[in-house]
Amino acid sequence: MNVVLAVACDQARVRPDGKMDIVGAFDALYAPGFPAVQERMTAVFVLEWDEDESGRHEFSADLVDADGTRVLTIEGHTDVEERPVDRAPARTRIVMPMERVVFPHAGRYRFVLEVDGHECPAFSLFVGEQPDGADPTEGERV
């Protein structure tokens, strides 16, 4: 299994034709103080499976701070179908909308994806304090 895409964004959806729309991707947030609350955000993970990895797979994604303290956990499973070698590899598209995500302090956070007991770094997110008079276009505001 390979992580082929991992991103934080405002919203995402998978269309019926299998294409994915991702709106407002970001890697930094700024808040006037801490703890800070992001009212809405979406985590997106796209996993590509090797041909010998069909079946049910358990996964979790932990949002952790720089010290490894867990802020939140997303858990689920995916069923991977067998694919003949003349077709594209099987992919799992995980789109997880979240509400009221609390960031206890400023700093770097990261999502760590665990699939069947194997850890994969997914993406990082910097959360900083918005100084007075700073340009609000330099990152999403929490």
Decide if domain 2-141 falls under CATH 2.60.40.10: yes
Q: Break the chain into its structural domains and give their ranges.
A: 2-141
- pLDDT tens digit string along 23-33? 999 999 999 99
* Confidence label for 137 from pLDDT (cuts 50, 70 and 90): low
* Confidence label for 136 from pLDDT (cuts 50, 70 and 90): low
DSSP category for residue 17: T
Pairing of strands 36-48, 28-31: unpaired
Angular region, 73: left φ>0, alpha ψ -120 to 50, beta rest:
beta
What is the average pLDDT value for the chain, to the nearest integer?
91
Question: Is 70 exceeded by the pLDDT of residue 123?
Answer: yes
Please give the average per-residue pLDDT across 73-93, as a whole number.
92
